[in-house]
Amino acid sequence: MIKTVGIVSLSSGIIGEEFVKHEVDLGVQRLKDLGLEITFLPHAQKGLDYVKEHPEARAQDLIAAFADDSIDMILCAIGGDDTYRLLPYLFDNDQLKQAVKQKIFLGFSDTTMNHLMLHKLGVKTFYGQSFLADVCELDTEMLPYSLHYFKELIEIGKISEIRPSEVWYEERTDFSEKALGTPRISHTNSDFELLQGAAQFEGEILGGCLESLYDIFDNSRYEDTTTLCEQYQLFPSLSDWEGKILLLETSEEKPAPALYRQMLQALKATGIFEVVSGLLVGKPMDETYTSDYKEALLEIVGDDLPILFNLNVGHATPRAIVPFGVHAYVDATKQVIRFDYKRRALGG
């Protein structure tokens, strides 16, 4: 049972801004209602400008959150786009390595980079939700599907299985105080969709936001991204990827089909599609470009690698939580992904 949650801002410092105070207050109360104590790490609420200008402070917070034995779970405030800048402050002198221990780490989007950092050190993490995007949902409660997985994680420390949500929601356009208590527009959701390949496949899951993964190989967003990521070998080796399941989902930027193809091609060039056991692909936000993305996947991934599409994970709501570093069994026929926490410990 999780007792204390430490909230970190590893990308954007938005939770320190006055214009989101109503969301933060709501989220804090929700965590308290779940029986949790909350610790904001020292720099988490310093605001957009400070957090942007001080990647070393963000890194200090992550190290402190792991080092503090009173913190059971590290919850990322939100994503962003420059958490790669933490690399020197975490790895130059083994700062993070000296502090890490196995505890729950949860985040998504730009946090993909932090998941890869922790993967380098052998830490199992959880992908798919964040404090501001999920706990601070403006409706009268957290979205039920998202809440189901969040509660399971804090109550038993793991996720046993993932099934499709019965509904999906349109993204909000208004996050102001006026939107407090207003429901999202919902639609009937479809099942997980097997685009190609075997209906059953297995392996440990790793991956995340496609744009974040692409930034490792492309410096059009920030000119030093590729240099730093290469210097610290952030992208796992092909031998590390072998037999794993690659998770991909797209951000609120809703990349145009041409860019989506470009990003997939960049991944293909690494050889990753030749060694993984399958792909899990998140539902695009607002179902934008769904058919285009499917077409691109089928054309670029190639061969008969299993591709399971329409997972409720990532930027489209509601959101499940995906364990990284845990053996997963995917069954498209039975519409379930199950997790075996004992397999790795037994050396299987």
Q: Cα–Cα distance between 206 and 241 in angstroms, integer?
A: 8
In this predicted structure, what is the pLDDT of residue 204?
98
Percentage, residues of the chain above pLDDT 70 = 99
Q: What are the φ and ψ backbone dihedral angles of 147, each rounded to 5 degrees?
A: -65, -40
Q: Per DSSP, what are the bridge partners of residue 116? A: none
Tens-digit pLDDT profile for residues 111-169: 999 999 999 999 999 999 999 999 999 999 999 999 999 999 999 999 999 999 999 99
Q: How far is CA 111 from the centre of its chain?
A: 6
pLDDT band with cut points at 50, 70 and 90 for residue 303: confident
Residue 109 has pLDDT above 70, yes or no: yes
Residue 345 has pLDDT above 80, yes or no: no
Residue 348 has pLDDT above 50, yes or no: no
**Three-class SS of residue 272?**
helix
Reading the block at residue 13, the tokens are 């410092």
In this predicted structure, what is the pLDDT of residue 347?
41
Tens-digit pLDDT profile for residues 195-211: 999 999 999 999 999 99
Residue 52 has pLDDT above 80, yes or no: yes
In this predicted structure, what is the pLDDT of residue 343?
78
Reading the block at residue 262, the tokens are 């470009």
Residue 346 has pLDDT above 60, yes or no: no
What pTM did the predictor assign? Answer: 0.97
Rounded to whole angstroms, what are the CA distances from 259 to 74, 158, 296? 33, 35, 10
Domains by residue range for the chain, with CATH: 4-161 (3.40.50.10740), 173-340 (3.50.30.60)
In this structure, are strands 336-340 and 4-8 parallel, antiparallel, or unpaired? unpaired
Percentage, residues of the chain above pLDDT 90 = 97
pLDDT band with cut points at 50, 70 and 90 for residue 1: confident
Location of structure tokens 């030749």: 274
In this predicted structure, what is the pLDDT of residue 342?
87
Q: Cα–Cα distance between 156 and 150 in angstroms, integer?
A: 10
**Three-class SS of residue 308?**
strand
| Mean pLDDT to the nearest integer, 26-44 | 98
pLDDT band with cut points at 50, 70 and 90 for residue 344: low
| Mean pLDDT to the nearest integer, 240-253 | 98
**Residue 37 burial by Cβ neighbours in a 10 Å radius (0-12, 13-18, 19+):** middle
Q: How far is CA 169 from the centre of its chain?
A: 18
For the chain, where are the alpha helices, taking DSSP H only?
A: 21-33, 48-53, 55-67, 87-91, 95-99, 112-120, 144-156, 210-215, 225-231, 238-241, 257-269, 290-301
What average pLDDT is seen over the chain?
Answer: 97
